[in-house]
């Protein structure tokens, strides 16, 4: 029986909502036991199992006046699936936890689940379980399991002489966030990029096949993530700005806000593009662009921009 549009979570109850949500999550052939038991049971094929977990907290990671429920679902799934992509793999199974106030419209939870399921469908992943509880604010907690056909690509494998490369749009979500903070909704393309990221899901496995030495998804900022690669690999990285694409909408936002459009690309997160390093003689997969180089670790900064220390924003910090 469909949930009435004006019903709250308190009206529907935990098990009524679970029954509704489960109906939106089709199961893949690898799922032996899906939602409904104490735990899911999966059939794992050859390769490595990779696991990641993320949280979205209302007021911290999203606002309901900026994103509708389906947007939140897309974002929650995308940021987790992107983590598996950054290991050179593909996500196949996710669990979804939701904590929310009792007076939250039940329809919001259903539409969030619909968006979550739609994003999972882009890589044929299944939602195999989850949990619900009452809380003072909305919290979405997601865990994802994926598979890597060969060895996972870690952050620690970059070597001096490698090239630094980027795949996916970068800086768009940061531009959209800047617009929303000022109370505007245009350029719409940037706002939509913030609401629903578009990770290049095929790029991780393709990079692994091409011999990538390290990978990371850009959730917090290009320079921040380059810093993680450099620190974990014991190298130095230089980013070349003449190789970065700054789309026209970012120029428009920068002009309106008095910002340098490059700051959105260098320090912006939430697009979940992939940043990786490859041997200099590797043939990069389609969609990848060389944007820098890997060198020997020195006493200087781990990451430079055009050979110089960068004093602008490098990315998001959580604390």
Q: Is 306 annotated as a binding residue?
A: no
Helix/strand/coil for 179: helix
CA-based R_g, the chain, Å: 20
Q: Is 220 annotated as a binding residue?
A: yes
Q: Is 83 annotated as a binding residue?
A: yes
Whole-number Å distance between alpha carbons of 162 and 42: 38
Which residues, 6+ apart, have CB-to-CB distance to 40 below 8 Å?
A: 31, 33, 34, 93, 95, 128, 129
Contact 30, 43 (CB under 8 A): yes
Q: Is 219 annotated as a binding residue?
A: yes
Q: Is 317 annotated as a binding residue?
A: no
Q: Is 243 annotated as a binding residue?
A: no
Q: Is 54 annotated as a binding residue?
A: yes
Q: Is 312 annotated as a binding residue?
A: no
> Smallest Cα–Cα separation from 105: which of 17, 213, 19?
17
Q: Is 52 annotated as a binding residue?
A: yes
CA atoms within 13 A on the CB side of 25: 26
Q: Is 38 annotated as a binding residue?
A: yes
Residues that constitute the known binding site: 38, 52-54, 61, 83, 130-131, 155, 217, 219-220, 270, 316
Residues that constitute the known binding site for substrate: 61, 270, 316
Residues that constitute the known binding site for Mg(2+): 38, 52-54, 83, 131, 217, 220
Residues that constitute the known binding site for ATP: 130-131, 155, 219
């Amino acid at each position: 029986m469909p949930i009435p549009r004006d019903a709250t979570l308190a009206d529907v109850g935990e098990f009524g909502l679970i029954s509704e949500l489960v109906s939106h999550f089709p199961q893949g052939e690898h799922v032996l036991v899906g939602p409904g038991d104490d735990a899911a049971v999966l059939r794992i094929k050859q390769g490595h199992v990779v696991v990641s977990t993320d949280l979205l907290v209302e007021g911290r990671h999203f606002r309901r006046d900026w994103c509708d429920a389906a947007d939140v679902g897309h974002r929650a799934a995308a940021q987790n699936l992107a983590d598996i992509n950054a290991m050179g793999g593909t996500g196949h199974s996710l669990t979804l936890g939701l904590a929310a106030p009792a007076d939250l419209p039940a329809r919001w939870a259903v539409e969030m689940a619909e968006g979550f399921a739609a994003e999972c469908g882009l890589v044929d992943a299944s939602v195999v379980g989850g949990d619900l509880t009452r809380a003072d604010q909305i919290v979405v907690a997601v865990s994802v399991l994926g598979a890597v056909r060969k060895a996972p690509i870690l952050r620690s494998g970059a070597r001096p002489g490698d090239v630094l490369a980027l795949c996916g749009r970068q800086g768009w979500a940061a531009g959209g966030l800047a617009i929303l903070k000022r109370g505007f909704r245009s350029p719409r393309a940037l706002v939509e990029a913030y609401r629903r990221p578009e990770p290049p899901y095929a790029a991780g496995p393709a990079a692994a096949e091409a011999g990538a030495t390290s990978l990371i998804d850009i959730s917090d900022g290009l320079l921040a993530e380059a810093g993680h690669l450099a620190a974990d690999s014991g190298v130095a990285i230089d980013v070349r700005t003449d190789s970065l694409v700054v789309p026209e909408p970012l120029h428009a936002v920068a002009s309106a806000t008095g910002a340098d459009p490059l700051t959105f690309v260098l320090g912006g997160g939430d697009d979940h593009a992939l940043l990786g390093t490859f041997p200099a003689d590797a043939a990069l997969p389609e969609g990848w662009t060389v944007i820098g180089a890997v060198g020997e670790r020195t006493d200087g900064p781990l990451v430079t921009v055009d050979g110089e220390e960068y004093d602008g924003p490098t990315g998001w910090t959580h604390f």
